[in-house]
Every structure is written in structure tokens, then in C-alpha cells.
Structure 1
Amino acid sequence: MIIDHLDQPLPGSSLHPTPSGRAYTDPEIFRAEQAEIFETMWNCVLRADSLDQPGRWKTVTVGREEIIVVRTRTAWIQAYYNVCAHRGMRVCTAPEGKNRTLQCGYHAWTYALEGELVAAPNLTSMPDVNRQQYGLTPVHVRQWLGYVWVSLAQDPPSFDEEVLGEVSTRFGEVESIDNYGIEDLRLAESKTYDVRANWKLIIENFMECYHCATIHPELTEVIPEWADGLASQRAGGEVHGSGFGEEIAAFTVDGSESGLPELPSIAPDQERKYYAITVKPQVFINTVPDHVIFHRMFPVSESRTIVVCDWLFLPEVVERVEAGELDVSRSVELFDRVNLQDFEACELTQPSMSSKAYRHGGALVPSEHHIGEFHAWWYQVLGEQADT
């Protein structure tokens, strides 16, 4: 495959090159990404409290695999390939459910929530069958920030280095994100977006604000510095949160008071500030003083990506919302508009990736250096598969 890897500025210019258009359109490259990135790294798949009782399960897609995530009888969360050890049928054929055991509908092989084979027709006449060996195949699970993260790798990368390490580069130290108490927040709203664009275009869009003045009028009203094309990234290597405008009361669609209490443990330098981080390969975390917006991406093909966006608030806020006593729609609407504006831009970019005019790729301006770092990581992970 042909992807020219140029890491030097374009001749006579301060611009840096991007990967070629084929990086965003070639099915072979996408298969390599599924194998080397999404089926290897840690993926954030669902909110842990969505599995609120033992026996509650959901299926999720990670790379090319379907996974069952279930709360066991001991209240711990486990995950397995959704593949019966007998003849390979899907064990769970619905998106979610609640059962005492997990049973394949083909030949009734039945598995405990903890994964081992516990029953099958005529199993007692086959005493030599190892019930652990013929149980569901597990995948690695971690819980962090109230979410379930899985890795399909036989030997997964270090969670501390690959996930927590990303956080420390953005917040200065992992403990700073702990101030938001994300694991104790509750889901008030979740929206799913079916984006007709390559997953890398979505990440690249999220990482820069060169486009903000053009397509995000509401956002730049709330955070004026973004109108200058400066995202809330590290400024000169320093941790930097983006401040609200002087007349802005809260992170709402019109900048008016939200009526919400501030998250109780945030630090003084996190007040009236927005912070954001990309946790490769598929998570965006956005924090503001009274709530958190959490994105998860699930690439479907080289030109289609499902994005799930959660709005998380204090439990007492969600209780009042559910009781009809409080409205958080203005907080939700701001980032919903941002999402729709961003995803439209990505969708309008995707067709050009296969154009002859983009055969050798495009260009990055200096303020988009974070995208250049992302591209360097992408080349490194795919190795020869991303080079000529």
C-alpha cells in the first residue's frame, strides 16, 4: 500500500504534510487499524452503572469482534467474546438483557456469568470435557472513571502507561482529573451519532481549534480564545485550560447561568475553565466546572464511525432532572451543536480523501501540531503497513 510518510515541513513552507488520502479510504489500511489498534489497545465500551445488577449484560463491538460485557454474581464486571465454544454461534443475540446464565440458542450450551461451561445436552456423559477450557473466552477488563475498558490483546498494553499516561500529559497529573469525580457522576443524556467519515478525521477535528471560528459560533462565544484558533492544549508545554469569557456565566448554549452546582472537588484553577483530552484510540473527555462530556468512538468501516456522547452530572442534579425539577438542556445543547457541526465537517471532508487532488495528502498549520503528533503515533503503530 502507498502512504508517503513525510515528517519534515513542506519545502519552503511552515506547513507539515498529512498522510495521503488513501489512509482514510483504503479497506486494507482500515483492517490493519482494526487489528493493530482497536483489537490491541484499551477501548472504553460502556458506563459501568448501566450494568446495575448481577446478570445484566450488553454486547459491544470492538474492532471486528463482538464482546459480551456482564455483571457477575460477585458484582464484578467481566467480558467475553460473544462466541459459543461448541460451534461458534453468537451466545447473546440481542443488544442487552438480564439472565442468570448465558445460553447459546443453537445447542443450549450454557455458561455461568463467570464464563465457565455449566450445562449442555448430554454433558454428564462426557466427564472428560474441561468446563473452563470450553467456557467463554475472556478479554481483559478495567474499570476507570465509572466506565468499563477492555483490551482484546493476549498481553494488553499497560493501562497506567497507555491510558493514565495520556491523562497526565493533558492535566499535568492523573489526580487532577480525579477532582471531577467522574466515576460518581450520573448519566443525564446520551446521544449516538452515525458519522459518515473515517475515525481519524474525527480525532483530527477534535484535536484542533483552527476551525472553531468558522463553524462553532456558540462555542467561541463561551470560550473566546478559541476564535483565535487555539485549542485548550498545552501552551508551551504547560497545562492550560481554556477560560470562559468575562460575561459568560456557564458552559451553556447561550452562556447563561446553568443553575447547576459546581462539582465539589475541582481545584481553583479548574473553575471557569474547560479542559479536554484525547485518550487514544477512541475517547474524548471534556470537563467543565459543573459537568463532564464523554465521547466514545466505534469505527465501523473506513468511511463510517459511530460516536456515543454522554453528558454526566452530579447524582442530585440527575435526580432533580428525572423529577422534572431541573432542566439541563442548555448544557447538553451546546456540545450537541458542536458535535453536529464537527461531524458535518468530517462528512464533507471524507469524499475528498479519494480525490486525485488529495492523492498526496494535505497540510497542517503550526497550531495543528497535535495532529502531527497523532499522525506520528499512527505511523509508529502500523509500522510498515503504513509506509510504502
Structure 2
Amino acid sequence: MIIDSLDAPAPGSSLLPTPAGDVYTDPEIFRLEQQNIFETMWNCVLRVDSLASAGEWKTVTVGREEIIVVRTRKAGIQAYYNVCRHRGMRVCTTSEGKNKTLQCGYHAWTYALEGDLVAAPNLTSMPDVDRQEYGLKPVQVREWLGYIWVCLADEPPSFEDTVLGEVRTRFGEVQSIDNYGIENLKLGESKTYEVEANWKLIIENFMECYHCATIHPELTEVIPEFADGLASQRKNGEIHGASFGSDIEGFTVDGSSGVTALPAIAPSQDRKYYAITVKPQVFINTVPDHVIIHRMFPQSESRTTVICDWLFLPEVVEQGMDISKSVELFHRVNQQDFEACELTQPSMSSKAYNRGGALVPSEHHIEEFHQWWNETMGYQRAGATESPMTTSGGSVTTDQ
């Protein structure tokens, strides 16, 4: 690796500006992100098979809301706000369970798994109460890739245009990701990381590989081209699978062979790594014998929970094949990335970074993420307040 010295960023097209530091530290900006991004878009929250039988439920946090996701007897997977329609107490007060109905512990208002109000003290003396109207408030649900996706918007954006649109950008066609049969894979390992960094820093890190030669020795050994600083995600949606090294047998921590290959991948997908960012909170990584999916859940302007799943063919998991070297590779990548993000977060509030930093050419595609952020936050409407993504620092007020 050749490291070129530069005393100060030079003007011109080689270096593009990054957002001002307070975009990553301002609680008000984070509140608006929760409102305008996470509470309006499709969020991937749970694996479908984590709710295996009727009555099983889990709670998840999306934006500022807590949601119950439940497998019903009649309507499949459904989701509701975890708010009793009587006086507002949490209906479910633990993170998961299995029940025939969902009952509030305050006044015993009781709801069917399908959401309708079915019982309450003295309910028969109130025949005018509409049991559907006073049922749990529903949330839109979709299933895709073996995961449950929810959207809190009253009128959700098109799943095909948004979520599947991200896939088309990175794979060229949805059918290309279908080759991996992700919806039929089984969970081999799952790890949860509590990252003391803003969610946007994590996305920006995942999108580029300028850092790979510096902090990812195991990854660049398996995929040598990453040492040159070019990521598999490229500008203008260029579709690129990063090739394994010539002497590498599998996507493992030591380059040894992995487990049983996924049977339907195309020849162009063999010995290749592909990566997709599905905004706002999902990363999909595909290799010939397994798939790695990250889900991000922002907790504050400086803390993010990341859940990473390693998915394999059912027989690999059921027969107890050794997946440890496959898991260890990306686990180390995660640890290395998240440490870098955590060491970056404190500088976002430094006076030395109040005007932001710079993107080198191999990072220019990150500007597309910044452009999306501006548009989604509404800063590029006619008459909208100037975007903090393009200001030179300092607090930003908005008309949101």
C-alpha cells in the first residue's frame, strides 16, 4: 500500500466535502431523522422464523415507537403499536412471549392476535364501543428474504420502488439476489453489537473500502482488490462483485474452504462478494456459501445497535457443520469497523471538524448517500431551510 502525504486538503474535484460534524451529534437532527426517515420508510426488524407458531410475539423499536410483531392464527404476521387504546399503557411489557391474546396489565383490555378488542371489564355494558375501532393500531408489514419488514407511515412508500429498488441498483435485477435463496436459508449465528457511534458513520464506513488496507488484514487477504481502496459498492450504481484471491478457497478468516455452496448462484456470482446498502438500516452481503445481513437500530445521535446474522443452507445448520471460520471473518470486520466508527464519533463535536472533512475519489459514491439524506429529510424542497449536510458547521434550525 502506498500512502501519499498531504499537508492540507487541496481544492478541486479530487476531494469532495463531507457533512459538518454536528450532523452526527445534534439531538434535534437525530429527532428529525427518526421522524422523517425511520418512521416513514421500510425497516427490517425480525427474522420470520423467530415467530414460529401462532401466539408468539416480540417487541421492536422503530424510530421513537415500540411495536408488537406477532404471528396470528388467521392473518399470518401482523404488527401493532404497543399502546393500549384505553389509557395508553404498554400492552406487552417484556421483549417477547407467547399468548392466546394480548392483554394490557392496567385495566385488562384484551386484544385478539388479529388486533380487535375482544374483552374488557364491563365491556358488555358498553355496546356502542366499536371493537375494531378500539383495536390495536396496526402497522404495515411485508415479508422478504425471510425477514419481517415494517413501515409506520400511514401511506407507506412502495416496497418495490424503495427496498427492491436498492437491489436493482446493486444487482441489476431482483432475480440476481433470488439466486441466493435467502428466504430459505437458516440462521447459523447472530451477534449483537452496541456501537457508540452515529448510524450514518456506520453506513458511510460500510459503503467504502478506502480504510480496508489499514484496518481489515483478514478481509484484504481474502479479497485482495479491497486493499486498493475500491469497494464493491460504486458510484452511479455500478454493479461489481469483488473477486476472491487466486489462492483463496472460501470466505473464511484464513481463506480455507467454507461449507456447502448455495446451489442456484450464477457463474458470475461464484468466488465473488457483493454488498448492498438498503437504506435506511440494512446491509446485505453475499458470498457463494452464505449470506450476512446487518440490521441497524439507532438509539441516539451517538449510539446504534447493530444485529448481524450469518445465514447458511438448512443442512449446514441442521447437520452442525463447522461455520466458525466463516463467522469469524466478518465478526472481525465488524469489530474493526465499529471500533473505527467509535473513535470517529467524538471528533464530530470537535471545533476542528465543524466544517466537516473530505471524500477521496474512491469514496465519492458516499456523496449519493448524503444526497439521499438531504432529499429524505426535506432540505431540498423549494423554500426549505439550508441543509446541515452542506453548511459549514454550527447548529441548524429547520422548519420541519
Give the aligned partner of residue 35 of structure 2.
Answer: 35
Give the aligned partner of residue 48 of structure 2.
Answer: 48
Q: Confirm or deny: 8 A CA contact 1:70 1:113 kept in the other structure.
A: yes
Q: Secondary structure at the match of 1:139?
A: strand
Distance 1:173 1:10, change over 3 A: farther
- The range that moved more, 368-377 or 196-205, is 368-377
Please state if 1:366 is matched with 2:365: no
TM-score after normalising by structure 1: 0.95
AA matched with 2:368: E
RMSD over aligned Cα, in angstroms?
Answer: 1.3
Give the aligned partner of residue 151 of structure 2.
Answer: 151
What is the CA-CA distance between 1:233 and the residue it aligns to?
2.2
Alignment of 1:57-76 (within 5 A): 57-74=57-74, 76=76
What is the CA-CA distance between 1:239 and the residue it aligns to?
1.9
- The range that moved more, 112-121 or 9-18, is 9-18
Give the aligned partner of residue 391 of structure 2.
Answer: none
Q: Confirm or deny: 8 A CA contact 1:10 1:17 kept in the other structure.
A: no
Give the aligned partner of residue 4 of structure 1.
Answer: none
Give the aligned partner of residue 12 of structure 1.
Answer: 12
Distance 1:11 1:81, change over 3 A: same
What is the CA-CA distance between 1:11 and the residue it aligns to?
3.4
Q: What runs of 5+ residues in structure 1 fail to find an aligned partner?
A: 1-8
Give the aligned partner of residue 253 of structure 2.
Answer: 253
Residues 114-141 of structure 1: CA deviation (Å, up to 9, x unaligned): 0000000000000000000110000100
AA matched with 1:287: T
Residues 290-330 of structure 1: CA deviation (Å, up to 9, x unaligned): 00000000000000000000000000111012xxxx21000
Q: Distance between the aligned counterparts of 2:364 and 2:227, measured in 1? A: 18
Q: Secondary structure at the match of 2:138?
A: coil
What is the CA-CA distance between 1:236 and the residue it aligns to?
7.7
Residues 231-265 of structure 1: CA deviation (Å, up to 9, x unaligned): 1124786421001000000000000112x111011
Alignment of 1:84-233 (within 5 A): 84-233=84-233
Please state if 1:275 is matched with 2:274: yes
AA matched with 1:167: V
AA matched with 1:327: D
AA matched with 2:165: G
Distance 1:237 1:63, change over 3 A: closer
Identity %: 78
Residues 69-96 of structure 1: CA deviation (Å, up to 9, x unaligned): 0000026100000000000000001110
Residues 350-377 of structure 1: CA deviation (Å, up to 9, x unaligned): 0000000000111101111221100011
Q: What runs of 5+ residues in structure 2 fail to find an aligned partner?
A: 1-8, 389-395
Q: Distance between the aligned counterparts of 1:13 and 1:146, measured in 2? A: 43
Q: Where does structure 1 differ by over 6 angstroms across 4 or more consecutive aligned residues?
A: none
Q: Secondary structure at the match of 2:160?
A: helix
Give the aligned partner of residue 83 of structure 1.
Answer: 83
AA matched with 2:77: I
What is the CA-CA distance between 1:50 and the residue it aligns to?
0.4
Please state if 1:357 is matched with 2:352: yes
Q: Distance between the aligned counterparts of 2:85 and 2:240, measured in 1? A: 50
Please state if 1:338 is matched with 2:337: no
Q: Confirm or deny: 8 A CA contact 2:235 2:365 kept in the other structure.
A: no
AA matched with 1:361: G
Q: Confirm or deny: 8 A CA contact 2:169 2:237 kept in the other structure.
A: no
TM-score after normalising by structure 2: 0.92
- The range that moved more, 129-138 or 74-83, is 74-83
AA matched with 1:53: S
Give the aligned partner of residue 374 of structure 2.
Answer: 379
AA matched with 1:267: A
Q: Confirm or deny: 8 A CA contact 1:10 1:16 kept in the other structure.
A: no
Q: Confirm or deny: 8 A CA contact 2:82 2:92 kept in the other structure.
A: yes
Q: Secondary structure at the match of 1:306?
A: strand
Q: Distance between the aligned counterparts of 1:370 and 1:23, measured in 2? A: 19
Distance 1:92 1:237, change over 3 A: closer
Q: Distance between the aligned counterparts of 1:180 and 1:235, measured in 2? A: 24
Give the aligned partner of residue 5 of structure 2.
Answer: none
Residues 178-231 of structure 1: CA deviation (Å, up to 9, x unaligned): 000000000010000000000000000000000000000000000000000011
Q: Distance between the aligned counterparts of 2:75 and 2:51, measured in 1? A: 9
AA matched with 2:287: V
Distance 1:34 1:237, change over 3 A: closer
Q: Distance between the aligned counterparts of 1:362 and 1:237, measured in 2? A: 24
Give the aligned partner of residue 308 of structure 1.
Answer: 307
Give the aligned partner of residue 393 of structure 2.
Answer: none
Give the aligned partner of residue 329 of structure 1.
Answer: 324
What is the CA-CA distance between 1:10 and the residue it aligns to?
7.3
Give the aligned partner of residue 265 of structure 1.
Answer: 264
Distance 1:136 1:220, change over 3 A: same
Q: Confirm or deny: 8 A CA contact 2:252 2:329 kept in the other structure.
A: yes
Give the aligned partner of residue 296 of structure 2.
Answer: 297
Q: Confirm or deny: 8 A CA contact 1:102 1:112 kept in the other structure.
A: yes
